[in-house]
Structure 1
Amino acid sequence: MSEFSGLVAIVTGGGSGIGAATARELTTRGARVAAFDLDPSGAPEGTLGIKADVTDDESVRTAVGQVVEAFGRIDVVVNNAGIGAQGTVEDNPDDQWHKVFDVNVMGAVRVSRATLPYLRESPAAAIVNVASVAATTGIPQRALYSTTKGAVQSLTLAMAADHLREGIRVNCVNPGTAATPWVQRLLDAAPDPEAERAALDARQPHGRLVSAEEVALAIVYLAGPSSGSTAGTALAVDGGMATLRLRPKD
């Protein structure tokens, strides 16, 4: 029997990229999975796709209610929904700052807040937030995005402290630059997509983009009962980008 057999998971942003990969992996391991997304048509086969807007508290609570109605419980929450932004601190107007914070930070707050009453009833409750290597590493042209992901990591630590004694473990993953639809859109918009891809590959010490599946496997580890002594941890899945300084290749 899989350690996820009988457990119910919610994955936000579950219609594509890291979210879809995570929903797929959890399903493969025996969980019943609800994939929240603005467009749930991309939710993996075998999951329950639910239209949900993490910037709208009523939408989140309605979606959570649908999960409870369908499955009767909630054990795992993966706060993955997020959007990106490029630019220095001078480049993004106030409304963009508010929008990215609303999705990346407040989205995790709203979903966690709505699911906590059900997680408290679970024998294997876990929340996994998706932050980024940008939370811990200065990356050019990412002032707004990095700030929100730093907030997600800080939120993770605070939530872990608040809820561990209620039986709810909270952790986060910090992916490096991953092969996701957002990164692909950035590449497509670059003057020289091939050169830009090569630069992104080279920026990570292992020489390539991180795959969505690699991030999903880290999320699933943190979400599962076998990591029962792991709480308040930020797990880097970045090919060493945050910590390693390799010599240039000859």
Structure 2
Amino acid sequence: MLVKTRMFCKKIMLLLWRTNSHISRMYSIESKKVLDQQVALVIGSTHGIGLSIARRLAQDGATVLLNSRKQENVDRAVRELTAEGLNASGTKCHVGKAEDREKLVETALKRYGKINILVCNAAVNPFMGPLLETTEEIWNKVFGVNVTSHFLMVKLVVPHMQKEGGGSIIICTSFAAFRPHPYLGAYCVSKTAQLSLTQVLAMALQPMNIRVNGLAFGIINTSFSDVLTNTHEKKKEIMNYYGITRIGEPEECGGIASFLCSPDASYISGENIVVSGGSHVRL
């Protein structure tokens, strides 16, 4: 009887081990270093979605250059990633200023000698209210950062990607480009412009073996979206408006960005992929 009990216990233990191993494989991400030896320049990358993208690129083997308008944010983010054993450094940059953009590219080349990946994630939205109350100053600021600075960053980086035989560019936009919010007028229009920018750049850079894709993020749990979700009532209202059951997390944005920069996406360019928890199906 004792022998049979022991045999039964061993079978149960084996079954539990196999089950746990299967669950572990389902929910763990084993990096294959698909971006090994790649240098990634991620614009607006010291918090939220930008930092999560930078982290995932580094986890998959890339060396990442972080940047932000404030040096203390850069230092904090670099400490965070390097403490995780990731290859990352940073520098201060206001992407809306020409001299800062040029210095950023020069810094990347001086430190690493090349640029293979560019992620344009910087964005501003200084006003929430009726569209016709948007001032010319606010309109120009929104388009200056959200559209113009991205285009000019691409222009600076492309010649260096050409020297490497190609590269990958990601324009971070928003699903608000597909389904605008009446109180986010200038922001939504700028994000719609990014959709076209992505496609036109993809056509222009295809002969250079440079792929360009857009990621249209939905409502993600970051400080940027606090204005929409900082109270229970606002959160419920915005979720009902967009037809979603929960708010996304920044960590859910990095994987798709890394994929688009990897060899697995070598035949994907000019796409605007929506990462919004399914809200786009209600459009």
Q: TM-score, normalised by structure 1?
A: 0.91
Q: Name the structure 2 match of 1:199.
A: 237
Between 93-102 and 178-187, the greater mean CA deviation after superposition: 178-187
Aligned positions of 1:133-144 closer than 5 A:
133-144=175-186
CA offsets 1:18-50 (integer angstroms, 9 cap, x no match): 100001111111100001211223424232111
Between 33-42 and 147-156, the greater mean CA deviation after superposition: 33-42
CA distance in 1, matches of 2:201, 2:76: 30
Matched, 1:22 2:53: yes
Q: Name the structure 2 match of 1:248.
A: none
Equivalent of residue 101 in structure 1, options 143, 168, 190: 143
Q: Name the structure 2 match of 1:76.
A: 117
Query: Which residue identity lines up with residue 275 of structure 2 in the other structure?
Result: V
Equivalent of residue 247 in structure 2, options 202, 206, 209: 209
CA drift of 1:206 comes to 4.0
Matched, 1:45 2:76: no
Q: Name the structure 2 match of 1:171.
A: 213
Structure with the largest fraction of helix: 2
CA offsets 1:37-78 (integer angstroms, 9 cap, x no match): 112234242321111111111111111101111011100000
Structure 1 segments, 4+ long, off by >6 Å, are none
CA distance in 2, matches of 1:234, 1:35: 24
Secondary structure, aligned partner of 2:281? coil
Q: How many residues align?
A: 241
CA offsets 1:139-167 (integer angstroms, 9 cap, x no match): 22111000100111110011000001100
CA offsets 1:207-244 (integer angstroms, 9 cap, x no match): 11122121222212112221000000000001122223
Name the % identity.
Answer: 25
Contact 1:204 1:238 in 2 (8 A): no
Between 218-227 and 27-36, the greater mean CA deviation after superposition: 218-227
In structure 2, list runs of 5 or more residues that go unmatched: 1-31, 83-87
CA drift of 1:185 comes to 4.5
CA drift of 1:88 comes to 2.4
- Which has the greater radius of gyration? 2
In structure 1, list runs of 5 or more residues that go unmatched: 246-250
- Please give the root-mean-square deviation of Cα atoms over the aligned residues, in Å: 1.6
Secondary structure, aligned partner of 1:11? strand
